[in-house]
Structure 1
């Protein structure tokens, strides 16, 4: 088959872009011709349709008026008329662009409704669809329109229940909610990782640290998520600050080095909230936690994102809300131990497979606009982390165990099995 993987953007480091690349790799191995069709010009995007991209002025304007309240039109009727016109334009554009494809896989276009005319236009195409839902609009308060009429559009059409559309979700919680809301029974396809391609090596560990000027005795914590408030990155700062106070200088480490007393926290993800990044810088300074921020470099060179896993001694994953958990899988594939907050989807879909991790618990509260966990939970996590970083056997056993578990449950081979048996049928 000739297959189009469709999204607003591609070739970037967001979860949807990453999963499309994995689907493309697996579907191509299965003998299909696969193209990523998106609205941005980026390496990895095979077909560019600028009309559906985030950079399109109509996209931003539509988003602002649909979710934030109609402000750019004299009344709601005028806005709805504009939407209808845009829907017709997109229908003609997509009819031409997607004409030769046997199967179209829209990613999140029918899930969040960020650009409603696009979803409505897609529904009119006489194509075979697999709707890949990574998140849903009802999971995000800011993506619920203030207007009842506009909200009804989402409730009726996002996602659509059509005979030519098969639905895929990434976790069991979303499956139950979609069944309840729409009577649709989707297939659960978890996010996956390529466990056959080594992400790290001992040689690269030393080379990357030398390149970045990081002393062999310095412990590096890696925060590989995008910089966004729901990632609760302040918890990573708390972990590093307490670890620095707990671990004694000149303590032998798992890799044969001796702890210098220094711990740095590295940010490798793209920044999606500049004001939040400033808050994190201020908080890290208050806690005496050095930060190395490579967001801009990664934006220019995505390969550098993957290289940064080499410098890490452990990975922090304190996110409080995830549809799945790409950076968790990346850490496992990179053979790095993980300190994580047990968010809801982790508890329901990932925890049962038996990964070994250092827990920040499953309850949080806010203090002065920062996410916090109980001091006793943080203390226990840091004690476990200290033990792990100072025990070569425990470190090795932990990361190797997780690698094998990840390979079994979340590999490209597992994706191929699910697509063959449950999706492409």
Structure 2
């Protein structure tokens, strides 16, 4: 029977994949009579739910603590038992405050089930993880659904969670993906399910990402949206109606391997004659590609950009080196849930697909890959790098796509910090 659940993540109102998947489930649960209470650091003022600023992993306090827990290689020599003990005390104190706020809220709202996304599998904010672990241990009357979109020991992000402190390692082993009698674990792909069973002995349930193909979105003025995009590399002229827009609609993050999209756009631009001679125009809108048209790579999301600023700067430098036009929409694109009707400054994320011609999705590592589903929904052609989960789990459900190869065919550039490199034969 429908009941009340607390939907928990570091943040729930963004355009990152975890937030979007939470929004999909919450909408469906509410349609079925459930009370869904959001709990995150970004619950807007005036909204139902519980906002706890201390759940953020992007606040100055959280970033500073994470740097001390997982110090860069240059700082490892400063590690000491005294430091480790002080860190454990600090993590415990912060966890206590978070737990108290959550426990008060769930008791006041008669919540019996907590659905926790990624906090129990990514140690971006260890006090938050410890708070929910302690709550689960102490409250056998509560149920915990721990959903893991990512696992901290997998993929490029694993290097972020290396600590010189044995005490911290022991804490991670205890509270991350914990095996508890009142907790169940879900994962979004079978590779992660196998990894959780091998590392923790936990048999989780695989529930793939979902998408509402019947969703209604706001119609936007595509040419106006294009014209307002920020050009961060290449020609300074606004993106025009005759330009072909290749979009990489995920957030900017190191695992997304966006440099591969830059290489694809550069290769397309070298084949301008074919685009100009297309008898019926190019893309869904049948754009007439002329001698003055450009192939533009669009990064529409600004989600988590400051956390990945160094990578973004490398991408801009690489785009300039490759001679392509790189457009950025993070200043004007907002999550659909935050868009206010009549706002003539911002554009809801899902609506921006109306202004795209082609999707390039090139991650090296991904838990699922919402953009593959979104490209099908938007009826746009998709070029995808076959990251392991796509190759083994997703691709058979995608009706058509262009392959950019797989991890066995991937190389490295010798410059720009060793960015990934598509093999020339695969690119051709």
TM-score (norm. length: structure 2): 0.81
Query: Where in structure 2 are there 5+ consecutive unaligned residues?
Result: 230-237, 340-346
Contact 2:57 2:124 (C-alpha < 8 Å) held by counterparts: no
2:182 equivalent to 1:164 = yes
1:105-144 superposed matches below 5 A:
105-125=115-135, 126=139, 127-139=142-154, 140-144=158-162
Give the RMSD, CA atoms, in angstroms: 2.5
Secondary structure of 1:264's match?
Answer: strand
Secondary structure of 1:11's match?
Answer: coil
Q: 1:257 to 1:353 in 2, by over 3 A?
A: closer
How far the C-alpha of 1:24 sits from its partner, in A, is 0.4
- Superimposed CA distance per residue, residues 241-281 of structure 1 (whole angstroms, 9 cap, x where no aligned partner): 11111131343324443211421111101224222222222
- Superimposed CA distance per residue, residues 106-160 of structure 1 (whole angstroms, 9 cap, x where no aligned partner): 1111111222232222223211110011111111121232222211211122111
1:161-200 superposed matches below 5 A:
161-198=179-216
Which of the residues 271, 274, 278 maps onto 1:251? 278
Contact 2:189 2:368 (C-alpha < 8 Å) held by counterparts: yes
Contact 2:246 2:265 (C-alpha < 8 Å) held by counterparts: yes
Tell me the residue number matched to 1:59.
62
Contact 1:208 1:310 (C-alpha < 8 Å) held by counterparts: no
Tell me the residue number matched to 1:344.
388
Tell me the residue number matched to 1:289.
324
2:99 equivalent to 1:91 = yes
TM-score (norm. length: structure 1): 0.82
How far the C-alpha of 1:56 sits from its partner, in A, is 4.8
Contact 2:145 2:184 (C-alpha < 8 Å) held by counterparts: yes
2:259 equivalent to 1:234 = yes
Secondary structure of 2:366's match?
Answer: coil
Tell me the residue number matched to 1:314.
358
Q: What is the rounded CA distance, in whole Å, between the counterparts of 1:95 and 1:206 in structure 2?
A: 49
How far the C-alpha of 1:364 sits from its partner, in A, is 1.0
Tell me the residue number matched to 2:233.
none
Q: 1:279 to 1:75 in 2, by over 3 A?
A: closer
Q: What is the rounded CA distance, in whole Å, between the counterparts of 2:132 and 2:56 in structure 1?
A: 15
- Superimposed CA distance per residue, residues 271-298 of structure 1 (whole angstroms, 9 cap, x where no aligned partner): 2422222222222222221122111222
Q: What is the rounded CA distance, in whole Å, between the counterparts of 1:199 and 1:263 in structure 2?
A: 26
Contact 1:241 1:288 (C-alpha < 8 Å) held by counterparts: yes
2:296 equivalent to 1:264 = yes
Q: What is the rounded CA distance, in whole Å, between the counterparts of 1:242 and 1:36 in structure 2?
A: 44
Secondary structure of 2:310's match?
Answer: helix
Secondary structure of 1:138's match?
Answer: coil
Q: 1:321 to 1:165 in 2, by over 3 A?
A: same
Tell me the residue number matched to 2:13.
11
How far the C-alpha of 1:313 sits from its partner, in A, is 1.0
Tell me the residue number matched to 2:232.
none
Contact 1:200 1:309 (C-alpha < 8 Å) held by counterparts: no
How many residue pairs get aligned? The number is 378
Q: 1:152 to 1:230 in 2, by over 3 A?
A: same
Tell me the residue number matched to 1:102.
112
How far the C-alpha of 1:211 sits from its partner, in A, is 6.9
Q: What is the rounded CA distance, in whole Å, between the counterparts of 2:224 and 2:98 in structure 1?
A: 49
Secondary structure of 1:37's match?
Answer: strand
Tell me the residue number matched to 1:399.
none
Tell me the residue number matched to 2:411.
365
Q: 1:55 to 1:211 in 2, by over 3 A?
A: closer
Q: What is the rounded CA distance, in whole Å, between the counterparts of 1:341 and 1:190 in structure 2?
A: 19
Q: 1:103 to 1:373 in 2, by over 3 A?
A: same
2:367 equivalent to 1:323 = yes
